[in-house]
Amino acid sequence: MASTIQIEKLAAEIGENIYIDVSGWHLYLADAHLHTTVAEKIFPAIEDRAVDEAKVMDVLRSIQVPLGGKQTFVTLAQLIPTAGQGDLLKLLEAYQDNW
C-alpha cells in the first residue's frame, strides 16, 4: 500500500515535468492541479509493476478535465501531447523500477 508521501513524491515529479497543451500554451499538471489525481490513479499499477503504455492511456482517458466553467469536458489524454504521453510513460517506468 502506497503511503501519502510516496504518492506526493510521484505527483510532484509528474506535476513538474508533464504539461497539457492548450492552443500552444503549456500548462504543467501541477499548475492545473491534475498531478495528484494522475499519481493516485496510476500508483496501483506501479505497486503491481504493471505500468505500460496501455495502462497509462487508460488512466489519462479516465480523467475528465472541465473546460469553460464546466461547459464541456475532455480527457486528460486529449490534452497531453503525444510526446508528453511518452515522457509520462518513461517517468512512470523509472519510478516503478526504483520502487
Q: What is the pLDDT of residues 51-69, one digit of tens each?
A: 999 999 999 999 999 999 9
What domain range includes position 72?
Answer: 4-97
What is the number of structural domains in the chain?
1
Q: What is the pLDDT of residues 17-26, one digit of tens each?
A: 999 999 999 9
d(CA 41, CA 22): 23
Whose CA is closest to 15, among 34, 29, 32? 29
* Pairing of β 25-28 and β 72-75: unpaired
